[in-house]
A and B are shown apart, each in its own frame.
Chain A
Amino acid sequence: MIGNFPYVTVAVSIGCGLYILMFQKNLIKLAIGINLIESGINLFLITLGYRKGGVAPIYTQAPAGKAMVLPTPQALTLTSIVIGVATSALVLSMAMMIYKHYGTIEVDKARRLRG
């Protein structure tokens, strides 16, 4: 019934992020776009590790007699989440500095480097 709907969600999320990066003109919006792609990929990794009828791979007071979902993607996603927050922090502080120097955060106007 659920089919491959999680994967479709992943594709839509990444697509929305790329759309923002390609067509929208605000630097902070671009950071949101990167965040969106990030969330899509995190969901992708976790979805890969899901096993139907499984429980979390933690033995502390777990319900008896059930399979466990795959733990590796969870470890990878943990890494990826922290990297994501680091990325957005850096991007946003750079956007603030650009505003400080240029007085604008529009992509069209903040382009002194060209040619």
Chain B
Amino acid sequence: MNEFFRIFIIPGGLLLLFMLLALVRLILGPTTPDRVVALDTINTLVVAGMVLVGAAYEEVIYIDVAIVYALLSYIGTLYVAKYLEERPKK
């Protein structure tokens, strides 16, 4: 195990474990926006975790995945938000 792995794997892993907390909100969330917020939080955590895990594996090319993830999860969020915005009120 090299230096990188030793330092970065535990923070990365912890970040990914915090997803479980967000998942609870995804299950409980009384309204739809709550669940979207949980999704957004999961995405942020995953991006940060991906950067750390990539650094831990000492694979520089892995960071590209994190960039794609950060850019595109945002689009998904926007789509849901747009749908919620246009939904006819009951």
Number of A-B contacts (CB under 8 A): 15
Tally of contact residues, B, Cβ under 8 A: 7
Interface range on chain A (Cβ under 8 Å from partner): under 10
**What secondary structure prevails in chain B residues at the interface with A?**
helix
Complex: how many Å from CA A61 to CA B58?
Answer: 9
Distance, CA A60 to CA B57, complexed state (A): 14
A96–chain B nearest beta-carbon distance, Å? 15
- Restricting to A55-78, which residues have a CB under 8 Å from any CB of B? 55-56, 58, 60-63
Tell me which of B57, B59, B60, B61 has the highest count of chain A C-beta atoms within 10 A of its own C-beta.
B59
A64 shortest CB reach to chain B, Å? 9
Interface residues as binary, A15-37 with B (CB distance below 8 Å gives 1, 0 otherwise): 00000000000000000000000
